[in-house]
């Protein structure tokens, strides 16, 4: 009896093409004739492009040698990065004081990572942020504890990029929510002001706002009063980003069914309570994907401050490449810069996906 049973079980096994690695390839790459054709074309392109790319990037490349060694090889000159990493990251921060912006960046990124869990969003976290921001300001500017003063004109490189993007996002988000609520207000004056602001800001590029903040805004200040260039660029980024966030949030508010408002009214909730407890939590959850897209754009748009002579990480890289010793190494430097931007953007995108799953109540 055992032999027929064994043979029947052997006959009932799934086909080899449906299980394991072969099954995965069959299901995902060769399940139809056009998918098979696309797979073959893609594999052919990879076979043609990958070998020379690997040869250029890894086999024939120079990683730590001097600039002169790069002229004797046909591969990539990655040594432009380690030889200039200090200036690319910290820019014109005084020599011997690079530990200060490095510690400030580490503190900022550590706080962001620590704050990513919602169960830690308590009042104590707010105090921790306040104390940490004060410490970061002291580290960057100095003037106490024996640290020399470093003017904001010398703040450059990656610390400047992180500062403009992070504080721009944090300040623009609540401002965008208020603008979205104002645009849906029943008060004609407030609604008109919000509409004019949003449409006007969205109708001009960020470059024009940066020029206005750098050149025209100081003309309206009283004589003897000046605002440093970094702060003016920060305000321009905040105002620009807030206008786009306002429209995204307005879409989320309009997606709320009328029954949500009626339920709040039946409970006797005020307008502020309705928005804070019922409408905004649902609306903001809906618009997480487009909001993150805008924040990612804002992070990358900080590179535009180069037009008003602020040396962010893109500008410090360009200055490095202007050195005749590193002529011809722009590809390697910009690849490093692209990977740097990608790392931050991917971290933000991953956190947004995680937040969506945590807040998902569709089930």
pLDDT of residue 104: 94
| Alpha carbons 249 and 266: distance in angstroms, whole number | 25
Residues 322 and 173 in one domain: yes
pLDDT of residue 26: 78
Is 81 domain-assigned?
Answer: no
| Alpha carbons 209 and 311: distance in angstroms, whole number | 18
| Alpha carbons 189 and 186: distance in angstroms, whole number | 9
Residue 206 phi, psi (nearest 5): -60, -30
Low-confidence ranges of the chain (pLDDT < 70): 1-20, 361-363
Is 13 domain-assigned?
Answer: no
Give the DSSP per-residue string, 332-349. HHHHHHHHHHHHHHHHHH
Is 282 domain-assigned?
Answer: yes
Residues 222 and 350 in one domain: yes
Residues 98 and 191 in one domain: no
pLDDT of residue 223: 75
CATH number at residue 217: 1.10.3720.10
Residues 119 and 265 in one domain: no
Domain assignment of residue 139, given as a range: 94-149
312: helix, strand or coil? strand
Strand extents, DSSP E, the chain? none
Is 249 domain-assigned?
Answer: yes
Residues 122 and 170 in one domain: no
15's torsion region: left (phi>0), alpha (psi -120 to 50) or beta? Answer: beta
pLDDT of residue 100: 95
Tokens 């009328």 belong to 258
C-alpha dist (Å) from residue 87 to 32, 55, 190, 335:
53, 29, 47, 17
Residues 114 and 242 in one domain: no
Is 136 domain-assigned?
Answer: yes
The Cα angle at residue 199 between residues 213 and 275, in degrees rounded to 5: 105
Residues 175 and 199 in one domain: yes
Residues 139 and 261 in one domain: no
pLDDT of residue 214: 80
Residues 132 and 167 in one domain: no
pLDDT of residue 10: 55
Is 246 domain-assigned?
Answer: yes
Residues 332 and 204 in one domain: yes
pLDDT of residue 271: 85
Q: What is the pTM of this model?
A: 0.85
Give the DSSP per-residue string, 232-253. HHHHHHHHHHHHHHHHHHHHHH
Nearest alpha carbon to residue 332 among 45, 49, 84, 48: 84
Residues 134 and 193 in one domain: no
Is 35 domain-assigned?
Answer: no
Tokens read off for 320: 């490095």
Is 329 domain-assigned?
Answer: yes
Residues 212 and 307 in one domain: yes
pLDDT of residue 67: 83
Q: Number of structural domains, the chain?
A: 2
| Alpha carbons 329 and 317: distance in angstroms, whole number | 11
């Amino acid at each position: 009896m055992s032999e027929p049973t064994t043979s029947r079980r052997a006959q009932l096994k799934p086909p080899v093409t449906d299980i394991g690695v072969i099954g995965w390839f069959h299901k995902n790459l060769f399940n139809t004739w056009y998918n098979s054709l696309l797979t073959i074309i893609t594999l052919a392109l990879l076979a043609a492009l990958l070998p020379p790319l690997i040869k250029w990037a890894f086999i024939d490349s120079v990683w730590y040698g001097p600039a002169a060694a790069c002229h004797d090889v046909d591969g990539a000159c990655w040594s432009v990065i380690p030889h200039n990493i200090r200036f690319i990251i910290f820019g014109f921060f005084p020599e011997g004081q690079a530990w200060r912006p490095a510690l400030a960046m580490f503190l900022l990124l550590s706080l962001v990572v620590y704050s990513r869990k919602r169960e830690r969003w308590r009042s104590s976290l707010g105090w921790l942020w306040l104390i940490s921001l004060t410490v970061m300001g002291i580290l960057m500017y100095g003037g106490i504890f024996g640290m020399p003063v470093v003017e904001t004109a010398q703040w450059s490189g990656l610390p400047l990029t992180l500062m403009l993007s992070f504080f721009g996002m944090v300040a623009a988000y609540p401002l965008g929510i208020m603008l979205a609520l104002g645009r849906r207000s029943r008060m004609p004056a407030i609604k008109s002001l919000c509409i004019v602001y949003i449409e006007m800001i969205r109708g001009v590029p960020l470059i024009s706002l940066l020029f206005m903040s750098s050149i025209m805004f100081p003309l309206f200040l009283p004589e003897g009063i000046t605002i440093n260039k970094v702060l003016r660029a920060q305000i321009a980024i905040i105002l620009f980003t807030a206008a786009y966030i306002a429209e995204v949030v307005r879409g989320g508010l309009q997606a709320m069914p009328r029954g949500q408002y009626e339920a709040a009214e039946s409970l006797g909730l005020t307008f502020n309570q309705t928005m804070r407890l019922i409408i905004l939590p649902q609306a903001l959850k809906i618009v997480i994907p487009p909001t993150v897209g805008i924040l990612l754009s804002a992070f990358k748009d900080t590179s535009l401050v180069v037009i008003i002579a602020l040396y962010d990480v893109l500008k410090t890289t360009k200055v490095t490449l202007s050195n005749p010793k590193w002529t011809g190494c722009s590809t390697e430097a910009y690849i490093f810069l692209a990977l740097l931007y990608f790392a931050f953007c991917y971290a933000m995108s991953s956190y947004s996906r995680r937040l969506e799953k945590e807040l998902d109540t569709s089930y």
